[in-house]
Amino acid sequence: MTYENALALRVSLETGLRIGDVLALKPEALQGTTLHYTAQKTGKSGKKKLSADLAKKLRKIADKSWIFAGRSGEGHRTRQAVWKDVKRAAKIAKVDGNAGCHSARKTYAVNLFHQNGLTEVQKELQHDNAGTTVLYAYADVLSNKRDSEVNYDMLADMIADRVYTKLLPLLEQCSIDKGESR
């Protein structure tokens, strides 16, 4: 992979940002080790912390207009160019499965889920719908497996347990509000 494309993936891995949002970053978005962004898909703004090493590398490659400048000198690098590079590298490395730019966002989500739980993943990925977040958080269970290898009963039980844990306090509050006893 090219150095810049590898850096773009590293930003996505460290922050969970979509590759399109990473590539659209302007140099002024990087303040110290904090990256300020606006998600293109949702229009939501946020900020993410980067490692000092990655922030330094991003400053080195940035031009006056973009952190990830395009080849022509106009505009930023395209997500399609990065995607092609990832696919080429995955093929050379004989990576099984469907590796792509979005794999970095999913990897971020899975790691965060194992460390901090589903609510934190939903917040960090800026998902309005928890159902979408579940697909990211459990990507490690679902990815690289054929349908026959996925234990859907176990996955459904895990999800049901999480939903029940979240709903139980609400259900108890409703019972108290209605004056019902247990």
The residue extents of the domains of the chain are 3-95, 103-177
Model confidence pLDDT, tens digit, residues 23-65? 999 999 999 999 999 999 999 999 999 999 999 999 999 999 9
Residue 76, pLDDT above cutoff 80: yes
Task: Give the relative orientation of helices 3-15 and 79-92 as an angle to the nearest 10 degrees.
Answer: 100
Q: What is the pTM of this model?
A: 0.74
- Phi, psi (deg, nearest 5) at residue 19: -60, -35
State the average pLDDT over residues 69-77: 85
Task: Decide yes or no: CATH 3.90.15.10 for domain 3-95.
Answer: yes
Coil, helix or strand at residue 133: helix
Cα 150 to Cα 18: distance, rounded to the nearest angstrom:
27
Mind listing the pLDDT tens digit for each residue in 90-148?
888 888 777 888 888 888 888 888 888 888 888 888 888 877 888 777 776 655 554 45
Quick count: other Cβ atoms within 10 Å of Cβ 83?
15
Q: Cα dihedral angle (125, 27, 89, 79), rounded to 10 degrees?
A: 60
